[in-house]
Amino acid sequence: MALYSEKVMDHFRNPRNVGVIEDADGVGTVGNAKCGDIMKMYLKIENDVIVDVKFETFGCGSAIASSSMATELIKGKPVSEALQLTNKAVAEALDGLPDYKMHCSVLAEEAIKAALEDYNHRKK
């Protein structure tokens, strides 16, 4: 059995939504000191819908793939739905991650939630 699924390899080799949104409505940065992965998510939100999402990730292939897949899962979705995204959903959408790489999907979930928290803070 391969260590990584075809979907993980595809999102690693061809990550979706990489970049920066200069006038982002929400920005979230998270990191894992143990492995050194850092993720930054940028959200553009209109009428409580995520119309654009970009990411910058410094980390391993699983971290990049998790970031990429997470952006795909929330793009075009209402904020309320994006808040429900779990690391398990990210890992399942990638057809699984090795146990010792599951923290990458956790970081993707946390980065999105941090960006949504920033968005809510800015709205006030």
Place of tokens 């904020």: 79
Of 30, 52, 34, 33, the C-alpha closest to 42 is 52
Q: Which two tokens stand for residue 81?
A: 């739905």
Active site residue 104: yes
* Cα 120–Cα 121–Cα 124 angle in degrees, nearest 5: 90
Annotated catalytic residue within 50, 82, 104, 116:
104
Residue 51's identity, in one-letter code, is V
Active site residue 35: yes
Annotated catalytic residue within 9, 35, 38, 102:
35
Catalytic residue list: 35, 104
